[in-house]
């Protein structure tokens, strides 16, 4: 009986530690994105570089959310997986639009 009680306490401690680690990971993701935003917009940024920086930000978001979604398992972390899939769709759309705009710009050069 004592073993069952200690197993339940161990499971609760492990769940609390995993929840704490998950919260720290989410915080680090936001801090990294803010630092990347500051770094990419430091100094003079031309219009072309600005659009490329948006692509880099979306790619970084997808990479960081992918690490989060693939690291944590369970029902409580399902929102992370959905955000990862949404960021992949957003990244694909942004890259497609960027390539389309680059192709249109090349087509209209005189």
Task: Say whether pLDDT at 8 is over 70.
Answer: no
Residue 16 pLDDT: 83
Listed in sequence order, the residues at least 6 apart from 91 whose beta carbon sits closer than 8 Å to its beta carbon are 55, 58, 59, 61, 62
What does the pLDDT look like over 9-61, one tens digit per residue? 777 888 788 888 888 888 898 999 899 888 888 878 888 788 888 888 888 98
Prediction pTM value? 0.72
102 or 7, higher pLDDT? 102
Residues 65/26, Cβ–Cβ less than 8 Å:
no
Overall number of domains in the chain: 1
Residue numbers of the domain that contains 102: 2-107
């Amino acid at each position: 009986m004592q073993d069952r009680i200690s197993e339940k306490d161990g499971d609760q401690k492990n769940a609390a530690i995993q929840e704490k680690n998950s919260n720290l990971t989410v915080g680090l993701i936001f801090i990294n994105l803010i630092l990347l935003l500051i770094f990419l917009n430091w100094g003079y940024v031309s219009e072309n570089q600005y659009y490329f920086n948006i692509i880099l930000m979306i790619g970084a978001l997808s990479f960081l959310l992918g690490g989060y979604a693939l690291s944590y398992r369970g029902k409580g972390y399902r929102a992370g997986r959905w955000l990862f899939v949404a960021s992949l769709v957003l990244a694909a759309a942004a890259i497609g639009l960027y390539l389309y705009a680059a192709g249109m710009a090349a087509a209209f050069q005189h």
